[in-house]
Every structure is written in C-alpha cells, then in structure tokens.
Copies of this chain bind each other. A is one copy, B any other.
Amino acid sequence: MTSLTLTFLGTGTSQGVPMIGCSCDVCTSRDPRDQRTRTSVLVSTQNKTILIDTTPDLRFQCLREGIHNVDAVLFTHPHTDHIMGFDDLRRFSELRDSELPIYATPDTMSKIKDAFRFVFDEPKPWKNYLRISAHSLNGVFTLGDLEITPIPLAHGAMTTQGFVFSRNQKRLLAYYTDCQEVNPEAITAAVGSEILVLDALRDKFHPTHLNFAGAIEAAQKIRASQTYFTHFCHDVCHAKKEASLPAGMFLAYDGLKVMLDA
C-alpha cells in the first residue's frame, strides 16, 4: 500500500524553463522533462494532501495533475516564484467549504499579506474568497499521521524552511529547496530519509542556491534511499545531467511521482 506520494508540481527556478525569449538548447528542447514550471511539490498520504509553496504556475500545475483537494499549505520562503499563486488556493477553500490551514514563518506570512491583503481582511466581500487559517511555524507539528519538522536553511542573506516528514520515528521525506548550503544540523535532521529532495540550480557556483557539486556532497552525507534534485535553471539538460549522477540520485521533473510503500 502506498503510504506517501510525492508529486513534483514544478522543478524550475524563478523564470521557469523555457525562459521567455530564449533559444538555448534546453529552452527549445523537445524533452518534456526540460519544461519546468516554478518549484513546488504535493505530499499526499491516505488522509492528507499537503502543498508546499504556491508558485505563479499553481493553477496550471493543479489542472495538469488533476488536483481537486488540498488540506494544508506549507511555505518555504516568500520569494515571488514561491508565493504569487497564493490566490489560486481559493478553489480549495471553496471546495472544502472551510478555512485552508497555511503554515509559514511570520516573515513569510507578512510578505504574503503585503501581496494578498484582501485574503486577510474581514469580513470578506465575496463568499468564494480564499479563506485561510494562518499558523506560524514554530517547531514540530503534525498533519494527519505525519510529523513535520521545519529546518532552517541558508538562502543567501535569508533563511528558508526545509521540511522533514516522519511517521513513527521513520523519516520519509526531507524537502530542502532554495538553500545555498545544508548545515550540519540540517544534515543530521535528514540523515537516512527514504526520499531527499534538494536544490541544485546548475553546475556553476551560485551565491544563494546549491550547485550540483554542493548538492551531491550534501546528499552523500544524508544518504537517503532516493535523492531527487530540483529547482533547475536552463543550464541543466535533463537527459545529459541525469546520466552523470551517482547511483540513487536523480533529476526531478514536472509531473514526476515518487511513491513510498507502507
């Protein structure tokens, strides 16, 4: 029985791949794995469907994957490519006819509020406006039978939140996107996970994202059963890059589903 399904909704960096007006080999590739919307995942269990981040592509991602229900939304950080689809959540509060729980740091919640003030104002002028219950990230919390541990990660001058999902003390998934390094505490928190998802922007150094060398080094310390890299820019050709990776490490792509058995 599948006990957790990870669906990659998007695997691209801030401008997506293809980039507007770019004619490079990857932006014009016919391999669908080279077409990347902005980075986001869905984590599904028997009784909970959890979305991480609301990219500007959220509506397309939900239509593509046939997503009709979301039970909670977690935010990694407030950058544009991770939050600007926020209002497209309104269908989920409408369909469930209740407030949608949102988990974010106070800084991220504040920046979402700056952009989408009407969602936070009461009373609502329209019955189908997005309705949320805002939860401030503050240590371990549970959703259904999943225990979720937020893990601070350095992303240039800012801190993003990684998330480790466990059940019965077993680490099922560590999701670390938008980080320039994985510090020893974050390594320790993820060691031995079934699935690791890790930022790997490109080969060249970047001041706020892991490159492949750094991501592979961190993955080798974490030793997950399966490691998936994500958040690629158009420097990364899926087929070429995946062929070069160590055993057990893969490139994620839009629409990829990874299923864990109980």
Which residues of A are interface residues toward B (Cβ below 8 A)?
14-16, 18-22, 56-60, 62-63, 67-69, 80-81, 84-85, 87-88, 90-92, 95, 114-118
Q: How far is the CB of A20 from chain B (nearest CB, A)?
A: 4
Known A20-B62, A56-B59: A87·B84 in contact at CB below 8 Å: yes
> Which chain B positions have C-beta within 8 A of A80?
87, 116, 118
B114 touches A68 (CB 8 A): no
Q: Copy number in this complex?
A: 2
B15 touches A88 (CB 8 A): yes
Kindly list 15 other residue pairs between chains A and B, CB separation below 8 angstroms, not including A84-B85, A114-B114: A16-B59, A20-B59, A20-B68, A20-B91, A20-B92, A20-B95, A21-B62, A21-B67, A22-B91, A56-B59, A56-B88, A57-B59, A80-B87, A84-B84, A84-B87
Known A91-B15, A117-B114: A84·B56 in contact at CB below 8 Å: yes
Closest to A119 in B: B80
> Which chain B positions have C-beta within 8 A of A56?
56, 58-59, 84-85, 87-88
Q: How far is the CB of A13 from chain B (nearest CB, A)?
A: 12
> Which chain B positions have C-beta within 8 A of A115?
84, 114-116
Q: How far is the CB of A192 from chain B (nearest CB, A)?
A: 36
Closest to A114 in B: B114
A20 touches B114 (CB 8 A): no
> Which chain B positions have C-beta within 8 A of A63?
18, 20
> Which chain B positions have C-beta within 8 A of A68?
20-21
A15 touches B90 (CB 8 A): yes
A95 to B14, CA, bound (A): 16
A95 to B15, CA, bound (A): 13
Known A80-B87, A90-B15, A91-B15: A67·B114 in contact at CB below 8 Å: no
Closest to A35 in B: B63
Closest to A95 in B: B21
> Which chain B positions have C-beta within 8 A of A19?
91
Q: How far is the CB of A84 from chain B (nearest CB, A)?
A: 5
Q: How far is the CB of A66 from chain B (nearest CB, A)?
A: 9
A195 to B176, CA, bound (A): 51
A15 to B59, CA, bound (A): 8
> Which chain B positions have C-beta within 8 A of A57?
59-60
A237 to B115, CA, bound (A): 33
A69 touches B116 (CB 8 A): no
A20 to B63, CA, bound (A): 6
Q: How far is the CB of A42 from chain B (nearest CB, A)?
A: 13
